[in-house]
Amino acid sequence: MNVIAKIEKINYQVTINSEGHTIMADEPIVNNGGNTGMSPEQLLLSSLGSCIAITLRMYSTRKEWNVGNISVNLSLETGNGTTTINKEISFSESISEEQKTRLLQISHSCPISKILLGEIKMNTI
């Protein structure tokens, strides 16, 4: 997988391309951006939220559990060198406490959760 992020003349506006898909990132106006796309932090949470939702849909479908719509609400808090991601997961259909407990456990096993919870090394070439 390869992602290319490119910034040109417009302050903080980044065009992101990967495998035929294009999205925009930007900073909000309060940070002198143009607010033409999500901020990098929002994109990080979007990646995590979509991964959790997809993983839960796959699992619930395999188990033949009707959970209805899956909503993953995420927020990010930073300070003192620590980052905390808060997540709230809800389902539009009634499910048992046992199913909900299992689905919340499964949410930690999505690939992006595993990346964020594991050791991350970055190489700059």
Domain with residue 86: its CATH number is 3.30.300.20
**Residue 78 domain boundaries:** 40-117
Amino acid at 108: H
Which pLDDT score, from 0 to 100, does residue 97 have?
A: 97
pLDDT at 113 over 90: yes
Q: What is the DSSP string of 36-81?
A: -SB-HHHHHHHHHHHHHHHHHHHHHHHTT----SEEEEEEEEEETT
The H or E element spanning position 7 is strand 4-7
Per-residue pLDDT of 19-42, as tens digits, reads 999 999 999 999 999 999 999 999
Q: Are residues 56 and 107 in the same domain?
A: yes
Per-residue pLDDT of 49-96, as tens digits, reads 999 999 999 999 999 999 999 999 999 999 999 999 999 999 999 999
Which pLDDT score, from 0 to 100, does residue 50 have?
A: 98
- How many domains would you assign to the chain? 2
Please indicate, yes or no, if residue 123 is contained in any of the structural domains. Answer: no
Which pLDDT score, from 0 to 100, does residue 51 have?
A: 98
